[in-house]
Structure 1
Amino acid sequence: MPPAKQLIGVIDVPGPERDALAQTIARDDLAVYAASGIEELPPETALIVAHARAVSRADWERLAERLPTLVVSDERQDADLLKAVEAGLVDYIVDPLRHGSLLRRMIVKAIEVHQLAADRERDRARLAHLNENLEELNESLETHLAMLRLDQQAGGQIQRKLLPARPQTLQGVTFDYWLAPSLYLSGDFLDFQGFDERYSLFYFADVSGHGASSAFVTVLLKYLSNRWQQEWNGEHPERLAPRWLAALNRELLDAGIGKHATLFVGVIDHRRRYLHYSLGAQLPMPLLVADGEVQALPGEGMPVGLFPGVDYPSLGCPLPENFRLWLCSDGILECLPGDTLEGRLRELERRVLASTTLEDLRGSLALEHLADDDEIVAQSAPGHEELPDDLTIMVLSGFGNDKS
């Protein structure tokens, strides 16, 4: 289907001269509608060619406001023609019947320029509308982010309230820790509690991922461990840690939240000075320092929350008169030099051996400038963004290292 012709409105006094002007224009895909005044032109008119003799000067501005308009004249009336252009008309041409080809080119060019201007105006209006929508969307997004930030910050404060007071000494063993969330909420968690005059219990967990879902698992862990401790009768301490891990494994699988964790659960027999423990894929392994030597506690186990029906090992080792037991989340590996995992683990052993206190180890990792996990961290949320991962260090020292 051929494209529709552009309709050109010719305003002139009726007669042979107007007909001749219309015939001159009606070529090159241009159609013509001749009229005596602007009111007679159809709405689809694309451009007006007005003869100076048919339009008074007072109407030039009105023509320019309606449509792009060319003025034609049979005589060079410079003053009048220039005033027509000044009033907003596109251009003028003298003796149009002799310069028909030029007139048609001027008409086509004027229509193109007018169309481009209209397109730009539509684009400008569309862009302004889009910017307005974007501003509203950004404002709404900022509002939702602020609400989420407040929720996360409140959640982080609640999570920190679930942590035990530090440091604490239970039956000659001092427990201390430092927990640094990389954002508002942490996937790392720990706890230690005295059971009676003979036993104390502790665990150290690193839940996969970050954010609210990982933090919810730590809350679940806190609740379950308290319940399981209340249900324990103090017998067979060697069975407690593997039973806890197996029960938590079932709980996470039944929850179906796609979260798993690495855990170390320990029961200290203060009377025998013996540690009963079990673990689930702990990395790095707990490091025991005594008599100027450091060794990783032996044993291995599957992560908690990945596979059903897992049996966790029942392990144990005697605790020397003077010892330090270090537990670190895997975030510490990001703070150690070395190109391989093995190299970083060896470097951690070296630094643990050289550290007497928690502050010593933090200093060797250049982390002493970071605040402890207290109200300072809560007030400066989202946390330690310079850390690539949550980082937690826990140290147990005893029995001759009792600082109380």
Structure 2
Amino acid sequence: MNTISDTAKASSSDDTAGASKSAGGRHSLLLIESDQPCREQVQKALTKLGYTVTLVDNGVEAIGCFDPAGHDLVVTDLHLPDMGGLEVLRKVKAMCEETPVVVLASNSEVSDVVQALRLGASDYLLKPVADEDVITHAITRVTEAQDLARENRAYREQLEARNQELHEHIELLQRDHEAGRQLQQHLLPRSPYHYPAGIEAAYRLQPSLYLSGDFIDYGLFGERFVGFYLVDVSGHGVSSALVTALIKHSIMHLLRERPLFSQLNTIDKDLTDILEMINAELIGTSLDKHASMFVGVVDSRARQLHYAVAGQVPMPALVTSEGAHWLTGKGRPLGLFHRGGWEVRHCTLPSSWRLVTCSDGVLELLDGDLLQKEAQLLQMIDRSRGDLDSLCAALKVDTAESFPDDITILTLRQDLAAD
């Protein structure tokens, strides 16, 4: 066995220069050839390409000295004195499938060349080789293909690693979102909830994503006032859900500062104070978020509804024995203008009534333009008599797999014996 090392020299041939560049960092090649003239010709061309050539003249010695980590390429004659070149090819491929093999064959061994290609040979050269350019072209093709395969393998490994990182990141986000969803659910009130004087509050909230930009709350103040609100924050997902938490926190903070809805003569001011506070919060945070809101108080003793709206679409509906109708009111959304023009309105309630408030996501479940959708929704509210379960069934809120927007329906009801 002889080892010959040579440094590639500049060549006037563009192909040789290109092949040297393609060979790049490869420095070791195993050449198996017993025919001396052919061996010298191939060896000379390979050393010009920048390879260190390990030269052997039989198959047994070649298999013994082949190093998958050390030999970047194998060139073997198909006709060797001790074993067939096809057997050498099989053994090399068995030891390292990725090592490219180029076979040398005479014109009479064309069938063996076909078999060699089937066994995984990368290319072939027919002897006698016309000149070094033929060798250069063949090795260039093989090394370029090897480069491409190596790059593709590296890209694939990088892609798999990044996909794994992405998968882990998505799992982490899903766990975080699920934790956030559970926290948001924990902040919501119980449904249904029964208050004195036969007032019941209930809701259905279906987020379009893990977290909802819709939020509702209600509570008893003193012995006669039931306060409530529905807020719909623009956008979806985490940022909108965080704003709903901010709104609840702000209202709770205001409750700690002073008693809300404790006196009949301050209810209207309390309602507008809530809207002004949330409006200032949204503008001050610079989160580029706005919200619509319906906030109200039921005076169970006087049977009167005090309420205000801020950009609410659709308007709340009141259902009585005479049917369902939209409440009136006006006011700009929160978080867009320093002055929203909000006003508190009053409505006398009969002995039996239902109040239905929906976020605008409900309209996405209906067909037509806005006026047609509102008309359909009012008909559904009327047919359901303001019953939450019946309305949700009509809108298919509980059976749909996904929603284009957050869906929230808040209902309040009271049934008293007629005077």
TM over 0.5: yes
- Corresponding residue for 1:197? 223
CA contact (8 A) 2:363 2:374 kept: yes
Q: What's the CA shift string for 1:94-149, capped at 9, x where partnerless?
A: 9xxxxxxx977665344323212211111111111222122211111111111111
CA contact (8 A) 2:45 2:136 kept: no
**One-letter code of the match for 1:185?**
L
Alignment of 1:25-36 (within 5 A): none
SS at match of 1:151: helix
CA contact (8 A) 2:59 2:85 kept: no
Deviation at 1:43, TM superposition (A): 3.3
Report the Cα distance in structure 1 between the residues aligned to 2:331 and 2:104, rounded to whole angstroms: 86
Among 163, 183, 203, the alignment partner of 2:188 is 163
Alignment of 1:335-374 (within 5 A): 335-336=365-366, 338-356=367-385, 357-369=387-399
Identity of aligned residues (%): 31
CA contact (8 A) 1:242 1:278 kept: yes
Q: What's the CA shift string for 1:303-331, capped at 9, x where partnerless?
A: 11112233321222111221111001111
SS at match of 1:320: coil
Report the Cα distance in structure 2 between the residues aligned to 1:156 and 1:271, rounded to whole angstroms: 37
How high is the TM-score relative to the length of structure 2? Answer: 0.72
- Corresponding residue for 1:90? 104
CA contact (8 A) 1:68 1:111 kept: no
Q: Is residue 2:159 matched to residue 1:137?
A: no
CA contact (8 A) 1:177 1:358 kept: yes
Report the Cα distance in structure 2 between the residues aligned to 1:46 and 1:361, rounded to whole angstroms: 80
CA contact (8 A) 1:323 1:401 kept: no
Distance 1:116 1:398, change over 3 A: same
Q: Is residue 2:287 matched to residue 1:262?
A: no
Report the Cα distance in structure 2 between the residues aligned to 1:210 and 1:117, rounded to whole angstroms: 54
SS at match of 1:345: helix
Distance 1:111 1:389, change over 3 A: same
Among 196, 200, 203, the alignment partner of 1:174 is 200
Distance 1:247 1:111, change over 3 A: same
Alignment of 1:301-380 (within 5 A): 301-336=331-366, 338-356=367-385, 357-369=387-399
CA contact (8 A) 2:106 2:128 kept: no
- Corresponding residue for 1:128? 153
How high is the TM-score relative to the length of structure 1? Answer: 0.74
CA contact (8 A) 2:291 2:333 kept: yes
Which of structures 1 and 2 has the larger relative contact order (alpha carbons within 8 angstroms, sep 6+)?
A: 1
Alignment of 1:18-97 (within 5 A): 43-45=47-49, 89-92=103-106
SS at match of 1:354: helix
Structure with max Cα Rg: 1
**One-letter code of the match for 1:116?**
R
Deviation at 1:69, TM superposition (A): 8.2
Q: How many matched pairs?
A: 351
**One-letter code of the match for 1:6?**
T
- Corresponding residue for 2:405? 389
Report the Cα distance in structure 2 between the residues aligned to 1:36 and 1:294, rounded to whole angstroms: 99
- Corresponding residue for 2:238? 212
CA contact (8 A) 2:311 2:332 kept: yes
CA contact (8 A) 1:187 1:218 kept: yes
Q: Which consecutive unaligned segments of at least 5 residues does structure 1 have? A: 22-33, 48-54, 72-77, 95-101, 371-384
Q: Which moved more, 1:257-266 or 1:358-367?
A: 358-367
Deviation at 1:367, TM superposition (A): 3.1
SS at match of 1:227: helix
Report the Cα distance in structure 1 between the residues aligned to 2:220 and 2:397, rounded to whole angstroms: 30
Report the Cα distance in structure 2 between the residues aligned to 1:36 and 1:334, rounded to whole angstroms: 78
Report the Cα distance in structure 2 between the residues aligned to 1:141 and 1:79, rounded to whole angstroms: 52
Deviation at 1:6, TM superposition (A): 3.3
